[in-house]
Structure 1
Amino acid sequence: MPPLPSPASSKQLLPWLVAVAFFMESLDTTILNTAVPTISQALAVAPLSMKSVLASYTLSLAVFIPISGWMADRFGTRQVFASAIGLFTLGSLLCGIASNIHLLVACRILQGCGGAMMVPVGRLTLVRTFAKAELIRAMSFVAIPGLVGPMLGPLVGGLIVDYLHWRFIFFVNLPIGIAGLVLVYLHLPDYREPNVKPLDVVGLILFGSGVALLSYVLEIFGDHTLGLGEILGLLALSLALIGGYGLHAARMAFPLLQLALFRIRTFGTAVSGSFFTRLGIGGVPFLLPLLYQVGLGFSPVQSGLLIMPQALAAMSTKFLVPRVLRRFGYRAVLISNTIVLGLLLMLFAAVGPATPLWAIVLLAFSYGAFTSLQYTSMNTLVYADIDDEKTSNASSIASTVQQMSISFGVAAAGLTTAFFVPDSLRSNPAVMIEGIHDAFLTLGALTILSTIVFHRLKSGDGNKVSQQKDLHLG
């Protein structure tokens, strides 16, 4: 039997391990979209019915992310992270062999249970393994899959549908998941709390059902099978449940999510700023394929290739992020970078049939670089002033808000486009591209407005994290 790895080597491999798990989860959120028409035909259902397959995964994430921190404290990060990868991999296998849409929905829920645990528990393990002075470099490394996955998803999905079989969309996770399980048991540290607080079951029911219902409303918004009154009623109910949780948490000694953490300036600003920023930029993975395929007439594979420069920028600039934050500080970086992102979104509104390919590639590369800086800055600022015993709860809150903001971002992009392009004109590429341009302008302005949140920061905020030592991750 080979000797067990030393703690030092395990520490160096940990970011790679967490990054692979993040990539598997983030890729899955978009790779299925390309195959929706093919799968609906294979399962003999209407394409509209496939919304339940997409929504079930999102709902599962929304329900189970809030308890991820408690689970890690109670059962240990290694066991929970391994179980998350195992559930996700098993769900992928079952999705790939599902014979009807009902089984596919059930298996997507199982996938979501695993996916809900991977991101927050992975972040929690990083925060507890690396000192605050090392955290930026580690988090900037594992933030890349969150950018790369959604960008590669449409391309990979298109290639699989064109050259293989739609079931391989799910089978692609199997070798990654199996390798991840082995590496987890070899290299993942096992952190757990000696005195775990009791689980807030009532809070889980209130918050979980409220967030799940809110995610569902966002998924079906614009669906003509439900009237405006019904959708507004569901929205009001979801907000009432979340509001009920807020009242419940204020009276609890150990609530499911400690909302009092928002009183910490760096945490509250990072989480709320992340939410409002993602309202603008979160819909880009939805809008760019529309712009390239419907507006410019590119194929799904060509569209995916045009999105890839964003991923390349995220990977090539990852080592610059710690230096930028150390030189300028969180406040200056987040305010200026958010404005730049908004302006870049507006520049996408200038992309048309006459735009040269090199200009599109350069714009995509620039957008990827600044998005990488934005995500890493927000994700690391979350933990700048969080005590060790509160990291699991902070990770759960940050991951829950992030998942909600992604849903809101896609919904905002879809609703904005629908507002500018009437149903009767969506088959006209010239009108469609104009509507997409208007959507980019609107979302760019919304992104710039989100800088208001980051003005709460002071010049020294986050220095515990930004004044880091060198850490080599590959």
Structure 2
Amino acid sequence: MTSSAIKRYLPWVVATALFMEQLDTTIVNTAIPSIAASLNVTPLSLKSVVTSYILSLAVGIPISGWMADRFGTRRVFGIAIALFTFASVLCGLSLNAPMLTAARLLQGIGGAMMMPVGRLAIIRTFPKSELLGAMNFVIIPALIGPLLGPTIGGLIVHWVSWRAIFFVNVPVGLVALYLVYRYMPDYRATERRPLDVIGFILFSCGTALLSWLLEIFGEHTLDPTTAVLMLGLSVALLVAYGWHASGIEFPLLRLALFRIRTFRIAVLGGFVTRLGVGGLPFLLPLLYQIGLGLPVWKSGLLMMPAALAAMFMKLFAPRLLARFGYRQVLIVNTVCIGVTIGMFALVKAGTPLAMIVVFGLMQGFFNSLQFSSINTLAYADVSQTDSSMASTISSSFQQLSMSFGLAIGTLVTAWFLGDVPQSDRAMVTGALHNAFVALSMVTILSSLAFWSLRREDGESISKGANVKPPAPEPASTL
């Protein structure tokens, strides 16, 4: 197996796996009513089917880096795909809600190992001068999966059965397993580090509880006192992890990596940006279905222009970053994302579909450029020995940001809606418009996070191997 063959096929292997994982994050939402009718339960009782997947991602991601270092990227990635595919079959064969929830939990564990381990394989295979192109290709499925999930789910349920939603993963998973066997390199850490069991318990419990609270926010009636106590507990667990990690040699997540300036700005800046962007997959279908009165499947089709623009973006991102640099691109592009979000406040009954399609294309292009830039800048000054830890930390923060973004979108809309009945179409549409404006302002303000970048940051990635990167700050200690 030659190095050129690995470079040619590895992005396809990782992209295929990430597409399955990201698609399943949202594809089930559309099918919940059909699943409830088939299993003779209420749709509300199936909330655990969605939250179990999110929780297992939050718990599994932190340990994935340690597993890859100990057992090798090929074995762990292959097991992750096999587990995800097998769990998909179990989901489709489930006879009741508890069986489906358990299968989704298992599916999420497989999915949790895909993203950080796949990124790790890419980072260690491609030199920094080629990393932008490889990550640019791999990030596309992560962007279009959540956008296509409602569309594909709606069409499958309409034409076939909700069980086919899960069975569609089987052929994709088998092809991915074959490609893993042929083309996935087997990277391992040169030094075996022990598993930080205490840190794993603290961080996983804290993130799982926080993700669960954010996932159910606005959808279930939760006693305010209980919610505050649980929120306080999750924060206390995460603070306890930070204290614990500062005092041991081999923590689960080495927070000292945040001493590397470009890594810190990329991860934390991306987290803030997603607070505004993360609510769109939830708010846009509501706008299309309530504001425009479109059926579910047509609403899903209006999400596709953003996915198409995300795919074509990869032709322009390397040129833009090479010409203008990460600092200028991220500052300007973040503002463009915010302006695009605000444009959706103009959409109402009677708005030409062509205008909505243009908004979707702009959204997909700017979002894709944003996260392709962030996901490569994060590794610009990270050494090979720290790449596994950096990938795990980045994936953990990305998962949390998705939950935060969805919660903020729900919170802002509910605040503008107040006590107005959700059956009042005009008022709901007005609340959505106000929410888009508010999220637009949040996103524009998040561009301030990238002002501390330097003009030359990331040039080792954007301008090729001949550019010597600046010496990174040490990340050995807190």
TM-score, normalised relative to structure 2: 0.96
Aligned residue type for 2:453: L
8 Å contact from structure 1 (residues 77, 190) kept in 2: yes
Does residue 377 of structure 2 align to residue 373 of structure 1? no
In structure 2, what is the Cα distance between the partners aligned to 1:314 and 1:437? Answer: 24
8 Å contact from structure 2 (residues 420, 427) kept in 1: no
Does residue 97 of structure 2 align to residue 133 of structure 1? no
Q: For 1:460, which of 453, 456, 461 is the aligned residue?
A: 456
Does residue 115 of structure 2 align to residue 98 of structure 1? no
Corresponding residue number in structure 1 for 2:205: 209
8 Å contact from structure 1 (residues 221, 231) kept in 2: no
Q: Percent identity?
A: 56
8 Å contact from structure 2 (residues 345, 437) kept in 1: yes
Residue by residue over 1:292-347, the C-alpha shift from the partner in whole angstroms, topping out at 9 and shown as x without a partner, is 01111111111111111111111112121011001101110101100010010000
8 Å contact from structure 1 (residues 136, 468) kept in 2: no
Does residue 134 of structure 2 align to residue 174 of structure 1? no
Q: For 1:18, which of 10, 14, 30 is the aligned residue?
A: 14
Q: For 2:389, which of 376, 393, 402 is the aligned residue?
A: 393
Cα distance, 1:75 vs structure 2: 0.3
In structure 1, what is the Cα distance between the partners aligned to 2:297 and 2:130? Answer: 38
Cα distance, 1:97 vs structure 2: 0.5
Aligned residue type for 1:65: I
Q: For 2:185, which of 180, 189, 197 is the aligned residue?
A: 189
Corresponding residue number in structure 2 for 1:124: 120
Aligned residue type for 2:234: S
- 3-state SS of paired residue (1:8): helix
8 Å contact from structure 1 (residues 55, 219) kept in 2: yes
In structure 2, what is the Cα distance between the partners aligned to 1:261 and 1:124? Answer: 16
Where structure 2 has 5 or more consecutive residues not aligned to the other structure, the ranges are 466-478
Corresponding residue number in structure 2 for 1:427: 423
Where structure 1 has 5 or more consecutive residues not aligned to the other structure, the ranges are 470-474
Corresponding residue number in structure 2 for 1:114: 110
- 3-state SS of paired residue (1:349): helix
Aligned residue type for 1:273: G
Cα distance, 1:455 vs structure 2: 1.1
8 Å contact from structure 1 (residues 135, 468) kept in 2: no
Corresponding residue number in structure 2 for 1:77: 73
Cα distance, 1:414 vs structure 2: 1.0
TM-score, normalised relative to structure 1: 0.97
Cα distance, 1:423 vs structure 2: 4.9
Cα distance, 1:224 vs structure 2: 4.3
Aligned residue type for 2:443: T
Residue by residue over 1:108-149, the C-alpha shift from the partner in whole angstroms, topping out at 9 and shown as x without a partner, is 110010000001100000000000000001111111101111
CA RMSD for the aligned pairs?
1.2
Aligned residue type for 1:460: E
Corresponding residue number in structure 1 for 2:292: 296
In structure 2, what is the Cα distance between the partners aligned to 1:122 and 1:319? Answer: 22
Q: For 2:402, which of 387, 406, 411 is the aligned residue?
A: 406
8 Å contact from structure 1 (residues 137, 319) kept in 2: no
Alignment of 1:219-368 (within 5 A): 219-368=215-364
Cα distance, 1:7 vs structure 2: 2.8
Cα distance, 1:194 vs structure 2: 2.5
Aligned residue type for 1:458: R
Aligned residue type for 1:130: F
Does residue 60 of structure 2 align to residue 64 of structure 1? yes
In structure 2, what is the Cα distance between the partners aligned to 1:442 and 1:214? Answer: 24
Alignment of 1:38-49 (within 5 A): 38-49=34-45
In structure 1, what is the Cα distance between the partners aligned to 2:362 and 2:44? Answer: 35
Cα distance, 1:223 vs structure 2: 4.2
In structure 2, what is the Cα distance between the partners aligned to 1:117 and 1:191? Answer: 15
